[in-house]
Amino acid sequence: MSYQKEYQSSIEDPAGFWGDKAKLIDWYKFPKNVLSTDEQGVERWFADGELNTSYLALDYHVENGRAKQLALIYDSPVTDSKQTYTYRELRDEVALCAGMLKQLGVDKGDRVIIYLPMIPEAAISMLACARLGAIHSVVFGGFAPPELAVRLDDSTPKVLLTASCGIEAKRIIEYKPLIDEAISLANHKPQNVVVLQREQSVASMDNEGDLDWAESLNQATSADCVPVLGTDLLYILYTSGTTGKPKGVVRENGGHAVAMKYSMKAIYDMEPGDVFWAASDVGWVVGHSYVVYAPLLYGCTTIMYEGKPVMTPDAGAFWRVIADYNVQAIFSAPTAFRAIKKEDPAGELAKLYDITCLKTIFAAGERLDPPTYEWLSETYKLPIIDHWWQTETGWAIASNLFGIERMPAKPGSSTMPVPGFNIDILDDEGNVLGPNEQGFIGIKLPLPPSCLTSIWGDTERYKESYLEQFPGYFATGDGGYFDEDGYLYIMGRVDDVINVAGHRLSTGEMEEIVGKHPMVAECAVIGRSDELKGQMPMGFVVIKNTSATSTDETNSEIVNELVQMVREEIGAVAAFKEALIVSRLPKTRSGKILRKTLRAMVDGTEHTVPSTIEDPAALDEIKALL
C-alpha cells in the first residue's frame, strides 16, 4: 500500500475509510453510524457502536491466545524493582481494581482522578475505570496542589486514587500532604481518597474518606466490563491553554480505540507480540496513548519505566531497558535524547548492551531539532522518526508512516500528514498558503477519530478555542509550513503555550501567578530556547514604584519569591527560575506586549522592531541587561 493512496482515501471519504478501520476492533455492537453530527454541531465518530476499551486491551487478548504473553513490564531503577504481568494477570488485577471502585460507588460516567507515579497501579486503575465505563483523569505527579484543586473542581470526581509517594532521581515526594492540601483548596471534595502505601514513605491516613489501597482491594470482588457507546468518554486529560485555566481535553472510547490500534501498524510498524516502549509519564498524553492503551489494544508488551533517561543511574538507562526486555521500538521526547547526548556524546554506554532488537526510535513532544536528529541517527544507526502530536488529537498528526510506506527522512520535518488529518497552512485571514510559506497550521474538519470533541463541560470554550479562528478548520495553535515535496515542518506555537522538557506549560498562567505578587506592576513571561529542555520560561517584571524602593538586593529577593510562587502554584515542572526586573515592558502603541521581539532578543535571533513600538528605549534597556 502506498502512503498517497492510503492518505487520499482517508481525505476523500473519511466515513468509508474509518468505517473500514473500525473492523480492526472487536465491538459488542458494530457501529452503523460511522460519522455523525451531534446537536451542538460537532462531528462524532461511531456514535451507535458499543464497546469496552478495557475488554479490547485485555480480555480480548486473553480469549484469543495471548493469556500467557507479557502485557506489562514494570522497571523501576529508583526503587530497584521489577515486575511483570501477563495479559491474564493484568486482566485479573484490573478486574479487581474495577471491583474496588465499584464498591466505592463508581459507576459508568463517574469521574476518577488518578494521581500516581509510574507504577503498574497507574495503568491498572486507568484500565479499571475503562472497565466500568467511568472516566479517568490522570494528573501528572509533578503538578502542585493548586493545579490538582482546579482539576478536582472541574471534573468533580467521586474517588481519587493515589500513592503515598512519588520517587524522583534525587528525592522522594510525599503525595498525601499534596492531596490533602489540594482537597482543602478545592470546592469539590471526592468521597474517598484511596492511597497505595509505598515502603519508601508511608502516608498518614487522617481524613474522613481516606482508604488504604491494599485493604480496599482485599474486600473487593472482580468487576465485569460495562459496554459503552463509541462516543462515551474514556478520559479527560487537562492541558495548558493560553489562560490560567487548563482545558479538559475529552477522549471518546470508540474513535480512540480504532485510531490507537490503526496507529500501531501504520505509524510504528509494530506487530502484535512485539515489545513497545514509550518512555513517557502516564500523566501526559503520550503516556495515555502509548504506555497504556495502544500497545495493549494491539497485543504488544508495554513497559512502565519509573526512572529518568539519565541519573538513574546513568545515560545508559534507556539502552539497558531496551536490551533487558527486547524492545523493538522506543518513543521518547527529544529532551530525553538531548540529556543522554550531553552525558554520553559518543554513545559509549549503548555499546555496553545488546540493542540489536531495536528497530526504530520515535520522538515527539517538541520539535526534534536537526542536531539531535543527526546525533541519534549517526550514533545508533537506526531510523529516527520525528512525529507531531498534541494532547488534543491523542495521536500523531504528522509522521513518517513506517508501517505503510517508508519515506526518506528530512531532518527538522515531521514528514507527512497521518491519514485522516487534512492539513492546510493558513494566513491571518484563513487563506491557504503555498509551499514554503509559513503560517498557522489548520486541520480541516472533520477531525479523524480520537481527537477531542469538546472541552469537559464547556463545548462553547471548545468552539471558541479551536474552531472559530478559521471556520471549517481546527486551529492547532502551531505554526509551520510544507516544503515543495509536501514535507511538513512544525516551527513552534503561535500562542502562549511553551514546551519545557517535553512538558506543555502556559506562559499566560505563569504571568497570572507572577502578577499576584504585591510588588509586581506588570510582567511578561516568554519561552526562551534552551539547549537541553528545548524551552525555559523567562520573566520580565516591572516592579511597583521602582525608583523609590528598588535596590539590587530587594530585586533579587523579589525574583526568588516569584520563582517560589510559580513552583508552589504550578509545580516543579514549570522550571520557572529566571526573571529580569525592568523599568518597563516593550509594547506597541495599542498596549500589546512585544513577546515575539523579546523572545528573539533573548535567543539572539534576527528580529525587526515593529514600527508601532511605543517606547524603543524599553528594548535598549533589556538589551543591556541580557
Give the footprint of ligand COA on this chain (CB under 6 A). 141-142, 166, 168, 173, 280-281, 284, 286, 308-310, 332-333, 335-336, 339, 364-365, 501-502, 572-573, 575
Task: Return the DSSP state at 447.
Answer: P
Helical segments of 222-301, H only:
253-266, 285-286, 294-297
Q: Which is nearer to ligand COA, 49 or 334 (CB)?
A: 334
Which residues is 363 bridged to in the sheet? 332, 386
Figure out which of the listed residues 129, 364, 455, 510 binds ligand AMP, where binding follows CB under 6 A: 364
Q: Which is nearer to ligand COA, 453 or 535 (CB)?
A: 535
Pick what 504 binds: ligand AMP, ligand COA, none; C-beta below 5 to 8 Å, kind-dependent: ligand AMP
Q: Which is nearer to ligand AMP, 194 or 525 (CB)?
A: 525
Pick what 575 binds: ligand AMP, ligand COA, none; C-beta below 5 to 8 Å, kind-dependent: ligand COA
> What is the full DSSP assignment across 568-625?
HHT-GGG----EEEESS--BBTT--B-HHHHHHHHHT------TTBS-THHHHHHHHH
Exposure class string for 606-616: b at 16+ Cβ within 10 A, else e: eeeeeeebbee
Gap between the Cα atoms of 134 and 190, Å rounded: 15
Min separation Cβ 604 and ligand AMP, Å: 21
3-class SS of residue 302: strand
Residue 413 makes contact with ligand AMP by CB under 6 A: no
Q: Which is nearer to ligand AMP, 133 or 479 (CB)?
A: 479
> What is the full DSSP assignment across 327-347?
-SEEEE-HHHHHHHHHH-TT-
Min separation Cβ 171 and ligand COA, Å: 7
Gap between the Cα atoms of 590 and 587, Å rounded: 8
Residue 389 makes contact with ligand AMP by CB under 6 A: yes
Residue 490 makes contact with ligand AMP by CB under 6 A: yes
Pick what 19 binds: ligand COA, ligand AMP, none; C-beta below 5 to 8 Å, kind-dependent: none
Residue 366 makes contact with ligand AMP by CB under 6 A: yes
Residue 325 makes contact with ligand AMP by CB under 6 A: no
Q: Which is nearer to ligand COA, 568 or 615 (CB)?
A: 568
Taking the CA of residue 175 as centre, how many other CA atoms within 13 Å lie in the half-sphere pointing to its CB? 27
**Rounded to an integer, what is the distance from CA 590 to the centroid of its chain?**
36
Residue 388 makes contact with ligand AMP by CB under 6 A: yes
Figure out which of the listed residues 367, 415, 519, 526 binds ligand AMP, where binding follows CB under 6 A: 367
Q: Closest residue (Cβ) to ligand COA?
A: 502
Gap between the Cα atoms of 254 and 550, Å rounded: 58
Min separation Cβ 563 and ligand COA, Å: 10
Q: How many residues does the chain have?
A: 626
Pick what 499 binds: ligand COA, ligand AMP, none; C-beta below 5 to 8 Å, kind-dependent: ligand AMP
Figure out which of the listed residues 125, 301, 391, 507 binds ligand AMP, where binding follows CB under 6 A: 391
Min separation Cβ 499 and ligand AMP, Å: 5
What is the chain's percent helix, strand, coil content, to nearest 5? 35, 25, 40
Return the number of other C-beta atoms located less than 10 Å from residue 170's C-beta. 9
Pick what 387 binds: ligand COA, ligand AMP, none; C-beta below 5 to 8 Å, kind-dependent: ligand AMP
Q: Which is nearer to ligand AMP, 372 or 391 (CB)?
A: 391
Residue 387 makes contact with ligand AMP by CB under 6 A: yes
Min separation Cβ 492 and ligand AMP, Å: 6
User: Which pairs with CB-CB distance under 8 Å and at least 24 residues apart come from 432-437?
Assistant: 433/481, 435/481, 435/482, 435/483, 435/484, 435/486, 436/481, 436/482, 436/483, 436/484, 437/481
Q: Which is nearer to ligand COA, 165 or 259 (CB)?
A: 165
Phi then psi dihedrals of residue 486, to 5 deg: 85, 10
Residue 390 makes contact with ligand AMP by CB under 6 A: yes
Gap between the Cα atoms of 534 and 576, Å rounded: 14
What is the amino acid identity at position 205?
A: M
Q: Which is nearer to ligand AMP, 87 or 470 (CB)?
A: 470
CA dist 11 → 95, 252, 420 (Å):
39, 21, 6
Residue 361 makes contact with ligand AMP by CB under 6 A: no
Q: Which is nearer to ligand COA, 198 or 308 (CB)?
A: 308
Pick what 165 binds: ligand COA, ligand AMP, none; C-beta below 5 to 8 Å, kind-dependent: none
Q: Which of 313, 309, 267, 246 is nearest to 533 (CA)?
A: 309
Pick what 490 binds: ligand COA, ligand AMP, none; C-beta below 5 to 8 Å, kind-dependent: ligand AMP
Q: Which is nearer to ligand AMP, 230 or 502 (CB)?
A: 502
Phi then psi dihedrals of residue 209, to 5 deg: 95, -10
Gap between the Cα atoms of 303 and 287, Å rounded: 10
Residue 477 makes contact with ligand AMP by CB under 6 A: yes
Q: Report the interface residues with ligand AMP, using CB under 6 A.
A: 239, 284-285, 364-367, 386-391, 414, 477-478, 490, 493, 499, 504
